[in-house]
Amino acid sequence: MKIGFIGLGIMGRPMAKNLIKAGHELVVFDFNKDAVADLVSCGAAEAAGGAEVAKQCETVITMVPNSPHVRAAVLGEGGVMEGAKAGTVIIDMSSIDPTESKAIGAELAKKGIDMMDCPVSGGEPKAIDGTLSVMCGGKKELFDKYYDMLMVMAGSVVYVGELGSGNVAKLANQMVVAVNIAAVAEALTFAKKAGTDPELVYQAIRGGLAGSTVMDAKAPMMLAGNYKPGFRIELHIKDLNNAINAAHAISSPAPLTAQLMEMMQFLKSEGLEKNDHASLVKYYEKISGASVVK
């Protein structure tokens, strides 16, 4: 399959490489010329912009930071829509506001262009090894058509519903992850303040109902004082902002998400926005005067 790929950042670059490894023909574009050169060395062709990508490919993947970037890449000057023809399919794998996915899709539909929103979860390691979780919104027939292609980059690809539903699922994921990380940090800080070894508390509770993938990923980082980013605070702030905006648009209460946003904003004010979101434990260090680091 000939695929256009726009956005070769931390996630997009390894995802694009996995498509090439699977035998797909890629035409790529990014403002980062080093990233483009890397993909060209792997066999991709370079395009001068989104419009040129769309002129060459009937399927175009976008993987960019946030809603405004998707809008610019797709609908902006020199964007995908300028070069696309009726029947083109745009698969946006960015994590954005679902209301914006729907709005962009509505503009594309006027020209006979289809759109799917297929955000991913798993971070850079899973992007590299091709085991991301992909949440898909759009027409079911398009999901069926592109399932095998998406599975090249993923360990699971799940259809959620109409356009925008993929990003609803991704934002729900980010809400749960944020609250879970904070709960782990709060519990380990409680253990430390109570005079009990947080490491042993973690080992005691991880096999019970409190145990989770998040706990097993983040508790060891907190205990080691390791905040090397797998997923940065600043990116989680972006996702929670989208979640809160989307929730407000439909009058869905999100008090825990709002509280986590304030905690992460505090960490940003402390200059920690580039740290892993496991550094939520540093919020508790600040207000409790205790550290769980071994």
- Is residue 274 flagged as an active site residue? no
Average pLDDT score over residue span 114-143 = 95
CATH code for the part of the protein at 2-162: 3.40.50.720
- pLDDT score recorded for residue 109: 97
Instruction: List the domain boundaries for the chain.
Output: 2-162, 169-288
- pLDDT score recorded for residue 230: 82
Burial class of residue 125 (count of CB atoms within 10 Å of its CB; 0-12, 13-18, 19+): exposed
pLDDT digits (tens, 9 = 90+) for 230-269: 889 999 999 999 999 999 999 999 999 999 999 999 999 9
CB 113 within 8 A of CB 89: yes
Q: Which of 170, 192, 218, 282 is catalytic?
A: 170
For the whole model, what pTM was predicted? 0.90
- pLDDT score recorded for residue 294: 87
Question: Parallel, antiparallel, or unpaired for β 2-6 and 25-29?
Answer: parallel
pLDDT digits (tens, 9 = 90+) for 72-88: 999 999 999 999 999 99
- pLDDT score recorded for residue 137: 98
CA–CA dist 287, 104 (Å, integer): 43
> Over 90: is that where the pLDDT of 285 sits?
yes
Contacts 24+ apart (CB under 8 A), 110-115: 111/81, 111/84, 111/86, 112/85, 112/86, 112/87, 113/81, 113/84, 113/86, 113/87, 113/88, 113/89, 114/87, 114/88, 114/89, 114/90, 114/138, 114/139, 114/142, 115/89, 115/90, 115/91, 115/163
pLDDT band at 155 (very low <50, low <70, confident <90, very high): very high
- Length of the chain in residues, anyone? 294
**% of the chain beyond a pLDDT of 90:** 97
> Over 90: is that where the pLDDT of 135 sits?
yes
- pLDDT score recorded for residue 195: 97
Three-class DSSP category at 112: coil
CB 266 within 8 A of CB 233: no
Other C-beta atoms within 10 Å of 82: how many?
Answer: 16
Question: Parallel, antiparallel, or unpaired for β 132-137 and 120-121?
Answer: antiparallel
CATH code for the part of the protein at 169-288: 1.10.1040.10
> Over 90: is that where the pLDDT of 149 sits?
yes
Residue 109 amino acid letter: A
Residue 294 amino acid letter: K
> Over 90: is that where the pLDDT of 63 sits?
yes
- pLDDT score recorded for residue 107: 97
CB 62 within 8 A of CB 73: yes
E strand or H helix that includes residue 5:
strand 2-6
- pLDDT score recorded for residue 152: 97
Greater pLDDT, 38 or 125: 38
Return mean pLDDT, the chain.
Answer: 96
CA–CA dist 183, 202 (Å, integer): 12
- pLDDT score recorded for residue 122: 86
